[in-house]
Amino acid sequence: MIPLVAAASGEAALAFVEIGAVALLLSVLARVAGRLGITAIPLYLLAGLAVGEGGVAPLDVSADFIGLAGEIGVLLLLLTLGLEYSADELRHGLRSGAVPGVVDAAVNFTPAFLVGLVLGWEPAAAVLLGGVCWVSSSGVVSKVLTDLDRLGNRETPGVLNLLVIEDLAMAIYLPVVGALVVGRGAGDTAVTVAIALAAVSLILVIALRWGDHLSRLLSPATDEALLLAVFGLTLLVGGLAQKVQVSAAIGAFLVGLALSGSVQARAAAVVGPLRDLFAATFFLFFSFSVDPADLVQVLVPAAGLTLVGVLGKLVSGWVAARSVGAGRPGRLRAGSVLIARGEFSIVIAALGAASADGAELGALAAAYVLMTAVVGPLAAKNADRLAARLVRTG
Amino acid sequence: MGQCGAMTEVTETQLPGVGVRHEFTTAGGDRTSVLSHRTGRRELAIYSRSDPDACSTVLHLAAEDARTLSELLGGNPVGEAASAVQRLEGVAIDWIRIRPGNDRAGTTIGDGRFRTRTGASVVALVRGDQTVPAPGPEVALAAEDIVVAVGTPDGLRQLRRLLEA
């Protein structure tokens, strides 16, 4: 036993050094992002490129660990997203945001899907690309709204309702594309999609109907017990969902939805730091597999998609803000704040990593998120100035 | 939701994932809103006159700042209870007026066994300018009283039926 332990501990020591160095690097990047007023996600992706295959300092022994930690990061990202909204808010958002939601999907998903087909990808990969370009980053949007003091603005409920709709749409989209990616023949695919949708509806009904019981069961727990219970439940449900071909991420999302009331707030508080840690690992690991050479190749299509994505979000923001009665400056602000894409786009692209067009899709998604996450907050800031001019000129 | 006393008209807007926002226009014509974050933090915003959709000034208040400010402004305990209750999911608050000629006038709160029957609790009575906070079961209801009750939306509906019968 002793030599084995010694060998393992030698390897462990190297892994500690690698992971520690990477974590410190990410910490510096998070601070830089905070200074610049953008999300840290694009910087994490760049760091992943640097330490991944073909990068400047590839990691040796800790890649497997970081891979698994990254998978857990996806689950925690989706869990906290589910925790964000109560069942009431979802119902309300669905009622008031349905029309902007449909417009949003039409103007953002469709062009990217078509670009995927033009690039000669398989339909499933094109559907994934559509998703990558569709969903705004709720993390960036709420950060920008807070930083720019726009939570009080008239257009803001429209923006937030649109985010709710997008998140709900993801609850259906993710399991469907998850099934599309593994499906072989048309018949097979139809069956897997049907199973996936049935499983999601089942979990959703359980979450909305019996979520109260779960919350009551968990509410007397200490913070420590609550953290372990929520973490365990998320991985368990995620794993079971994955078994029946529904993406694990959706299982985690629905666990978040099921928790309500004071347990919801407490769970969000205790899971938050854990989520930050694992999610950073996920973004890092995602860009491990992206070849820097591929990234250079997709720069032109990514820039084109970014332009289309900016216009698309300006349209959906315009419609969403108009639906809550905001004037033209408000509609412009709403559109600009929605431009940034982030966590969901990467989660979606990761689903297709194993497919034939996975490498290109991954590179394109990384470039796209990089561009929109930088352009978005800048546009949001300047929309204020542009809006001010609109007001003055009438 | 009912209104008690003379108050400016306040509109309520849900901000999913953030909290709830209440807006009103002051007598002087300035549009103002209070944003209550789920965390207890508040934002007091004054809207710009040139662009009525945007805020010209936003004051960020920690939970204790908000309490201090509301005390300085002469906040009333009922209103505070109401906003505290709104942050709890599944809990609602309602104002129910006892109309003149109602059979309930003259009977006590204990007589009605409201909590046993509806699950909703009477947390205050507003009688003219006076507020009776946390009235005991021996307190009698009078015509024109406004009963402030807290419970589930369902329980409050039942209570309203009992009190308006």
Per residue in B67-90, pLDDT tens?
888 888 876 655 656 666 666 667
Region of B74 on the Ramachandran plot (φ > 0 left; ψ -120 to 50 alpha; else beta): left
CB B151 within 8 A of CB B92: yes
Closest CA to A285 of A17, A62, A20: A62
Evaluate if residue A336 carries a pLDDT over 90.
yes
Classify burial at A368, counting beta carbons within 10 Å of its beta carbon; exposed 0-12, middle 13-18, buried 19 or more: buried
Query: A151 and B43: CB-CB below 8 Å?
Result: yes
CA A11, chain centre distance (Å): 33
CB A33 within 8 A of CB A147: no
Q: What is the pLDDT of residues B101-135, one digit of tens each?
A: 788 888 888 888 888 888 888 888 888 778 888 88
Query: Rounded to the nearest 5°, which phi and psi values hold at A43?
Result: -70, -40
Buried b (16+ CB within 10 A) or exposed e, A63-85: beebeebbbbbbbbbbbbbbbbb
Evaluate if residue A57 carries a pLDDT over 90.
no
Evaluate if residue A337 carries a pLDDT over 90.
yes
Query: B17 and A262: CB-CB below 8 Å?
Result: no
Query: B54 and A330: CB-CB below 8 Å?
Result: yes
Q: Where do we find the tokens 């005991």?
A: B136
Using CA coordinates, name the residue in chain A closest to B58: A149
Helices vs strands, H then E, count in chain B: 5, 9
Query: B50 and A387: CB-CB below 8 Å?
Result: no
Show Cβ contacts of residue A276 under 8 Å, excluding neighbours closer than 6 positions: none
Is residue A143 within 8 angstroms of chain B, CB to CB?
no
Q: What is the pLDDT of residues A261-285, one digit of tens each?
A: 778 888 988 999 999 899 998 998 8
Query: B18 and A160: CB-CB below 8 Å?
Result: yes
Evaluate if residue A311 carries a pLDDT over 80.
yes
**Closest Cα of chain A to B16: distance in Å?**
6
Pick the residue with more confidence: B127 or A386? Answer: B127
Is residue B36 within 8 angstroms of chain A, CB to CB?
no
pTM, two decimal places: 0.77
**Closest Cα of chain A to B112: distance in Å?**
30
- Please give the pLDDT value at position A235: 95
Evaluate if residue B6 carries a pLDDT over 70.
no
**Closest Cα of chain A to B30: distance in Å?**
14
Pick the residue with more confidence: A37 or A380? Answer: A380
Q: If residue A301 lies in a helix (H) or strand (E), which one and from where to where?
A: helix A299-323
CB A369 within 8 A of CB A342: yes
Q: Where do we find the tokens 């698994």?
A: A68
Best mutation target, B38, B51, B88, to test chain A (most A CBs within 10 A)? B51
Pick the residue with more confidence: A39 or B32? Answer: B32
Record the tokens describing residue A341, joined without a space. Answer: 């894409």
Evaluate if residue A10 carries a pLDDT over 80.
no
Is residue A394 within 8 angstroms of chain B, CB to CB?
no
Pick the residue with more confidence: A37 or A190? Answer: A190
Is residue A260 within 8 angstroms of chain B, CB to CB?
yes
Record the tokens describing residue A292, joined without a space. Answer: 């820097």
Beta strands B19-25 and B31-37, pairing class: antiparallel
ipTM summary value? 0.76
Using CA coordinates, name the residue in chain A closest to B13: A157
CB A140 within 8 A of CB A373: yes
Is residue A85 within 8 angstroms of chain B, CB to CB?
yes
**Closest Cα of chain B to A211: distance in Å?**
13
pLDDT category, B16, cuts 50, 70, 90? confident
Cα–Cα distance measured from residue B30 to residue B53, given in angstroms and rounded to the nearest whole number: 12
Residue ranges matching CATH 3.30.70.1450 in chain B: 92-164
> What are the strands of the beta sheet with B146-151, ordered from one edge?
B92-97, B146-151, B121-127, B130-133
Work out how many CB contacts closer than 8 A connect A with B.
Answer: 85
Q: What's the structural domain count of chain A?
A: 1
Buried b (16+ CB within 10 A) or exposed e, B108-133: ebeebebbeebebebbbbbbeeebee
Partner residues linked to B124 by β-bridges: B133, B148
CATH of the domain at A87: 1.20.1530.20
Is residue B47 within 8 angstroms of chain A, CB to CB?
yes
Is residue A275 within 8 angstroms of chain B, CB to CB?
no
Cα–Cα distance measured from residue A181 to residue A134, given in angstroms and rounded to the nearest whole number: 18
Evaluate if residue A172 carries a pLDDT over 90.
no
Is residue A269 within 8 angstroms of chain B, CB to CB?
no
In this structure, of A33-37, B32-36, B119-123, the range with the lowest mean pLDDT score is A33-37
- Please give the pLDDT value at position A184: 65
Cα–Cα distance measured from residue A9 to residue A315, given in angstroms and rounded to the nearest whole number: 56
Q: Which residues of A touch B61 (CB under 8 A)?
A: none
CATH architecture of B92-164: 2-Layer Sandwich (3.30)
The predicted model gives A50-61 an average pLDDT of 69
Q: Which residues of A touch B33 (CB under 8 A)?
A: 152
Q: Which residues of B touch A155 (CB under 8 A)?
A: 53
The predicted model gives A185-198 an average pLDDT of 78
Cα–Cα distance measured from residue A215 to residue B88, given in angstroms and rounded to the nearest whole number: 13
CB A19 within 8 A of CB A284: no
Residues A118, A189, A94, A332, Cα dihedral to 10°: -10
Report how far apart, in Å, the C-alpha atoms of A364 and of each of A126, A132, A247, B25 are. 12, 9, 22, 49
Query: Rounded to the nearest 5°, which phi and psi values hold at B102?
Result: -70, 140
- Please give the pLDDT value at position A2: 46
Partner residue facing B21 (CB), from A152, A212, A326: A152
Q: Which residues of A touch B52 (CB under 8 A)?
A: 154, 327
pLDDT category, A97, cuts 50, 70, 90? confident
- Please give the pLDDT value at position B5: 42
Give the 3-state secondary structure of residue B33. strand
Partner residues linked to B58 by β-bridges: B45
Cα–Cα distance measured from residue A318 to residue A300, given in angstroms and rounded to the nearest whole number: 27
Show Cβ contacts of residue B136 under 8 Å, excluding neighbours closer than 6 positions: B109, B110
- Please give the pLDDT value at position A219: 77
Domain containing A322 equals: 2-393
Q: What is the pLDDT of residues A134-152, one digit of tens each?
A: 999 988 898 889 888 899 9
Classify burial at A366, counting beta carbons within 10 Å of its beta carbon; exposed 0-12, middle 13-18, buried 19 or more: buried
CB A296 within 8 A of CB A100: no
Using CA coordinates, name the residue in chain A closest to B14: A157
**Closest Cα of chain A to B46: distance in Å?**
9
